[in-house]
Amino acid sequence: MSVPRFIVLKSSGTETYLGYKHDNGKYNGYAEFTEPTVVSANAKFEVEFAKDGLVHIRSCTNNKYLERTHNPSITGKPDEEYWITITADKPEEDRSTESCTLFEPILKDSVYKNFRFVHVQSGCYLCLWPLATSELGRGVLANNKNVADNGNDIFEVIDWESLVILPRYVAFKGNNDMFLRLSQVEGHPYLEFSSTDVCAGSVPMEVFYMKNGDIRIKPVSSDKFWRRSPN
């Protein structure tokens, strides 16, 4: 089982998704699990396939590649010196250099689409590495050649192209050529395909995304969300 071309990565150790710091601070470009929803633009990555099942991974927002970066100053600990940053300008396949951007995806669970990723040049596993006392609170470490006991080196790979991304404001048209609108029936709110005017105040709907890509919808003219009526 191979990884899709466009992916979102989620760690089992956090409810957020992989992105990168882009605040022009000292950790600018560092990979971090801070994107709030699966459809966040900064959570989208493109997988570029190389030989032997290896891949390069590129951010679709800054067009930089994942690479392993040496920075011993973050914690000062020898086993926390190498971090994943999204800063490489181009793919590098030379396995003898630290700037190599090749990674090996290793399937862990085909049902849940869980993978581990190994930085090829170093042989180190990528691992979510929470730091309570650092600006890099949910960074990605690449310092260990052994699998993590806590499972923080296991990542769910989500196929971006399987996601349905709707605009924030939408209108729905039925097969009767009428638009869905909020109406009142015996004093109770109902949705029905009965409007001929897409600009009518009861027609526009607002879409709200949940973290996992599920959506909630409500009429713009109301503060109540859609639900399945028990009646």
Question: What pLDDT does 133 receive?
Answer: 73
pLDDT in tens, 83-121: 999 999 999 999 999 999 999 999 999 898 999 999 999
- Provide the percentage of residues in the chain whose pLDDT is more than 90: 87
Instruction: With CA atoms as reference, report the closest residue to 102 among 146, 54, 68.
Output: 54
Query: How deeply is 38 buried, as exposed, middle or buried, from its count of CB atoms within 10 A (0-12, 13-18, 19+)?
Result: buried
SS3 string, the chain, reads CCCCCEEEEEECCCCCEEEECCCCCCCCCEEEEEECCCCCHHHCEEEEECHHHCEEEEECCCCCEEEEEECCCCCCCCCCCEEEEEEECCCCCCCCCCCCCCEEEEEEECCCCEEEEEECCCCEEEEEEECCCCCCCEEEEEEECCCCCCCCCCEEEEEHHHCCCCCCEECCECCCCCEEEEEEECCEEEEEEEECCCCCCCCCEEEEECCCCCEEEEECCCCCCCCCCCC
- The pLDDT assigned to 229 comes to 80
- Please state, in angstroms and as integers, the Cα–Cα distance from residue 1 to each residue in 106, 204, 225, following that order: 9, 42, 39
| Domain spanning 6-162: CATH 2.80.10.50 | yes
Q: Count of alpha carbons within 13 Å of 190, Cβ hemisphere only?
A: 10
> What average pLDDT does this structure show over 195-208?
95
Domain spans, the chain: 6-162, 169-219
Per DSSP bridges, beta strands 188-195 and 179-185 are antiparallel
Per-residue confidence (pLDDT) for residue 25, from 0 to 100: 84
Asked whether residue 231 carries a pLDDT value surpassing 70, the answer given is no
Rounded to two decimals, the pTM is 0.89
184 or 142: which carries more pLDDT confidence?
Answer: 142
Residue 167 pLDDT class (50, 70, 90 cuts): very high
Dist CA 202 CA 180 (whole Å): 8
In the prediction, which pLDDT does 187 show? 83
pLDDT above 70: residue 2: yes
Does residue 187 or residue 10 have the better pLDDT? 10
* Tens-place pLDDT, residues 146-164: 999 999 999 999 999 999 9
pLDDT in tens, 124-139: 999 999 998 778 999 9
The residue among 133, 34, 127 whose CA lies nearest residue 75 is 133
For the cut 70, the answer to whether the pLDDT of residue 210 exceeds it is yes
Say what the pLDDT of residue 185 is: 86
Mean pLDDT of the chain: 94
